[in-house]
Amino acid sequence: MTIAVIALPFFFLLCVIVIPLIKLEDRGSAFYIAKRLGMKGRSFDMYKFRSMVPNAPDIRLEDGSTYNAADDARLTKIGRFLRKTSLDETPQLINVLKGDMSIVGPRPDLPSQRSLYTGSDYLKLDVRPGITGYSQAYYRNAIPWKQRLKHDAYYTQHVSFTLDVRIVLKTISTVISGRSVFIEKGSPK
């Protein structure tokens, strides 16, 4: 939680810049708030800067993961930039301060995705979800959802300060490189 407190001035400065840009583009809400699965399977409201047009339809891939492509017509101009830089995730610092999330941990799933869990997939509910995690650091959006769940299980079985530091450093490298932001394969259902 200390990192979240240290990052708050950066977040507030970002809000001063990003919120007006989102509002100017289409007058919609600056934030996207959605239910996600947290520790022990409890639902919570997760915050993000809105990166899609207001009331964008929810499009899923065959594996249940979110459709996310560079040419997605639902993305706004500022939203495309926010996604590429992962700045759309920064409002989750509020979730960290509230105790719903941590800086590092498995990314939270939609409550409906819990019905698709099998075997070790449930392990991810033993820890707080994170703003970044093993899959995001090393693969971002380039692997199928079920493979991300395997990485989440690995993380929950190997949680350590050293692993968290490696994940944070790799996340920074991955975001700066701009690779694997959008899913290149797979079609929406």
pLDDT band at 139 (very low <50, low <70, confident <90, very high): confident
pLDDT band at 188 (very low <50, low <70, confident <90, very high): very low
The ranges assigned to domains in the chain are 2-177
pLDDT band at 180 (very low <50, low <70, confident <90, very high): low
Q: Give per-residue pLDDT as tens, 3-58.
A: 777 888 888 999 999 999 999 998 889 999 999 999 999 999 999 999 999 888 88
**Residue 125: predicted pLDDT:** 96
- Long-range (24+ apart) CB contacts under 8 A made by 51-60 are 51/75, 51/76, 51/78, 51/79, 51/80, 51/82, 51/83, 51/88, 52/76, 52/79, 53/26, 53/28, 54/26, 54/28, 54/29, 59/188, 59/189, 60/188, 60/189
pTM: 0.85
**Residue 42: predicted pLDDT:** 97
Q: Give per-residue pLDDT as tens, 78-129.
A: 999 998 888 999 999 999 999 999 999 999 999 999 999 999 999 999 999 9
